[in-house]
Each structure stands twice: as structure tokens, then as C-alpha cells.
Amino acid sequence: MGTYGRFPIALTRGRGCYVWDEQGRRYLDFVAGIATCTLGHAHPAMVAAVTEQIQTLHHVSNLYYVPEQGALAQWLVDHSCADQVFFCNSGAEANEGAIKLARKYAHVKRGIANPLIITAKASFHGRTLATVTATGQPKYQQNFDPLMPGFAYVPYNDIDALETAIAELDANTPQVAAIMLEALQGEGGVCPGDTAYFQRVRQLCDQKGILLILDEVQVGMGRTGTLWGFENLGIEPDIFTSAKGLGGGIPIGALLCKASCAVFEPGDHASTFGGNPLACQVGLTVCQTLEAENLLANVQQRGDQLRLGLQRLVQQYPDWLTEVRGWGLINGLVLHPEAPVKSVDIVKAAMAEALLLVPAGPQVVRFVPPLIVSADQVQQALLAVEKAVALTVKCAQNS
């Protein structure tokens, strides 16, 4: 339907942190399916898991117990603050489920007739009608109105604005059912959450009976150097969501919550494909490989290496670049607001240097390689992006 603004290459094969196009040219992949290919491409553990499961049982129905689903749910519960898990197919579906769960909780536990969910400006929560409404970016909502009722927006990392909004919305009768945030805003420009802010949000939620929902779709599954992004902030959510990296590229999403807010009953929510044996077996393999290969340590070390190299680039081009933001292996190179170039210009120049990057808005270049990336590959990426920036600057100066 022409919904994608595609770059002019067609990728046909991948292995590890590299992909190849139709002409056989190799690229270093620092997009990873947009923070999705946790173990890179054609990882032996994933290949074995897919092969064995597709030969055994790939899909049944949630009318029956699915052992692979139970095993993955158990791993996730054992490795998080959650007590229960619902499986779906994507991050948008997981966030949609979180919205439904929060609304039901507000009705049956708190007696709120018209529950409101507060989200952050510059957030991104998905493309369904409810999640695009939750997304605090008008550009994603344009021409899709009437949007879903029940959402309010505040600036990210601004505790005064949040407290004012809660006070105004709850002035006559309690309406705020949940606060839905990303621990680090990915699509919003790779903006990490402020620890003091999030800890105060947690306090407010506890004081007022408000649920805290954290969207971990992009930052979960080890991407930030901890298994979950919220671990960087020293808090626990009531509800959180996962997708992208959970299946390493095989579609799967998960809605996770504590027992205290697990109000779904039979018939409340469902999915035809969610939690099928194939997706869950691959998801469990990704989880187990994260542990077996000690990938969290690699994420921390390679993230430090990448940020240090990008910071040197900022120092080299102070009129063009302003800062480096991020945690672990989700990082953003921020362009100066007055620079006559956009993030996509650097992405295109990097592609010419056989490095794949992705924008996070018009002023941020995002670096989200597979979590298996090596020190040599990070250095290779830094050399390529240095050439890309130099070429972009030169072209802008000559135009």
C-alpha cells in the first residue's frame, strides 16, 4: 500500500551482525530489525529451535494448554517482577492489552466510570487506534480521528507537569487509572528516563492507587544492559510490555503484570496466534541464550565503547552534533537543531559506507545493533559513521 518510505536496497541474507543485498554487498547491521534481532541473523540456537519446533508442532489454539507457552511465561516471571503473562504477536498488541487491563482494573477495583491514562509527549506505543492515541506525537495521529477517548499527555521527565495533571484530572472525582511511560523513549529521540522522575512517579502511583505501566517493547530483553529497561531506574511497574527482542525477529509480544492487578478473566482478552508453540519456543531460546552467552555484560561493554566513540565525533563536529544519548546498545547521535542536515542524511551516507542505521526523528541517528555485536564490529561502525558525518557535512557546506 505504499506505507513505507524505503531505502533503495533489498536485503536477501544475514548472518551474525551482517546482512547482504541482492548484489551481494555486505552491510554491518546496526538496525537489527529496529532493535529486534537480539541474537543477530541466523544464530545457531534460533535455527535449531525453529527447525525442531516446526517439525514438531507450530500452532494449535489457546483452547488447549501450550507447554512451550508455559515454559516461556515461567522464565519471564522468574526473571522479572511479574506474576502473570499474556502472549500476543506484537508490541502494539501488548500495549493494547495493557490499556484494556488498566481500564478493567479501574472499573472493578476502583469504581472509576471513565478511566484516564496519562502518557508522555514524544512517546510511541504502537499503530492500533488505541496505541496511536496513547502515542504522544500528533504526526502519528493525523487523519485518524476520532481518536480513542481516555488519554491525557504530559512532557516526559517533568514531574511538576505530571503532578499538576493528576491534580487537575482528579480534582472532582478520581479518573486517572494509569500512567504509561517508556523507561527510555526510543522513537521519541532516544531519551533516557530520569531516575528521580521515575521514582517519584512510582511514589505517586502508590499513594493514589494509580497503575504504572511501562512500555518495554524497544528497551526490554537486554537492550539497555539490564534485562528490563526499568531496572536502570530502580523501580518496578505494575504492568509492562515486551515484544521486538523477545522473539529475536520471530513475531511475539507479551503483556506482563503483578498479581495485584491481574483482573482479566476467561473471555476478557484473547489471540489466535499469540503464544503459539513456534513463537514461544524461539522466545524461550532467545531468553536462555541471553543468559548462556552472558550477553548483558557484552551489551554494557559494547555500549560504553560505542558511546565513547560517538562522543569523540561530537567533539570533532560541535557545530553539527550536540550529544550522545542512550543506555547499553540503544544510543542516539543528536544533531544540532540549526545544522542544515537531518538524521536521514547521515543514515543514507552511512549506508554508502556499508553501515545500516535508523533515524529516531529528524535530529537523532539511532544505533541498535544485535546484542552479540563484537568490539571489532563497534569499531568498524564508528569508522563508517565518522566517514558518513564527514561526507554529510562536506556536502552541506558545498550546497
Q: Is the pLDDT of residue 156 over 80?
A: yes
What is the pLDDT averaged over residues 257-278? 97
CATH of the domain spanning 45-292, picked from 3.40.640.10, 3.40.50.410, 3.40.50.360, 3.90.1150.10: 3.40.640.10
Q: What is the pLDDT of residues 88-117, one digit of tens each?
A: 999 999 999 999 999 999 999 999 999 999
What is the pLDDT averaged over residues 278-288? 98
Distance separating alpha carbons of residues 213 and 14, to the nearest angstrom: 35
Q: What is the pLDDT of residues 331-341, one digit of tens each?
A: 999 999 999 99
Helix ranges restricted to H, 317-374: 343-352
Helix ranges restricted to H, the chain: 32-35, 44-54, 67-78, 91-110, 129-134, 138-141, 159-169, 195-208, 277-292, 295-316, 343-352, 375-398
Nine-digit cell string for 393: 557535512
> How confident is the model at residue 132, as a pLDDT?
97
CATH 3.90.1150.10 domain extents, the chain: 11-30+294-398
244 in catalytic set: yes
Q: Is the pLDDT of residue 370 over 90?
A: yes
Q: Give the pTM.
A: 0.96
What is the pLDDT averaged over residues 143-167? 97
> How confident is the model at residue 213, as a pLDDT?
98
**How does residue 231 score in pLDDT terms, banded at 50, 70 and 90?**
very high
Helix ranges restricted to H, 170-268: 195-208
**How does residue 399 score in pLDDT terms, banded at 50, 70 and 90?**
confident
Q: What is the pLDDT of residues 56-96, one digit of tens each?
A: 999 999 999 999 999 999 999 999 999 999 999 999 999 99
**How does residue 398 score in pLDDT terms, banded at 50, 70 and 90?**
confident
CATH 3.40.640.10 domain extents, the chain: 45-292
387 in catalytic set: no
Nearest to 179 by CA among 212, 157, 214, 209: 212
Distance separating alpha carbons of residues 78 and 73, to the nearest angstrom: 8
> How confident is the model at residue 245, as a pLDDT?
98
**Helix 277-292 with 67-78: angle, nearest 10 deg:** 40
Considering 124, 151, 198, 240, which one is annotated as catalytic? 124
Considering 29, 215, 238, 345, which one is annotated as catalytic? 215
Q: What is the pLDDT of residues 168-205, one digit of tens each?
A: 999 988 999 999 999 999 999 999 999 999 999 999 99
Kindly give, in sequence order, each residue whose CB lies less than 8 Å from that of residue 290, ignoring residues fewer than 6 positions away. 38, 221, 222, 227, 296, 371
**How does the average pLDDT of the chain come out, rounded?**
97
Nearest to 247 by CA among 58, 90, 13, 21: 90
| CATH 3.40.50.300 is right for the domain spanning 11-30+294-398 | no
Considering 198, 244, 264, 367, which one is annotated as catalytic? 244
Q: Which amino acid is at 36?
A: T
Query: ∠ at Cα 255 (328, 75), nearest 5°?
Result: 70
Nine-digit cell string for 80: 522479572
DSSP 274: T
Distance separating alpha carbons of residues 291 and 229, to the nearest angstrom: 17
Residue 37: CB atoms within 10 A of its CB come to 28
258 in catalytic set: no
Contact criterion met (CB below 8 Å) for 30 and 22: no
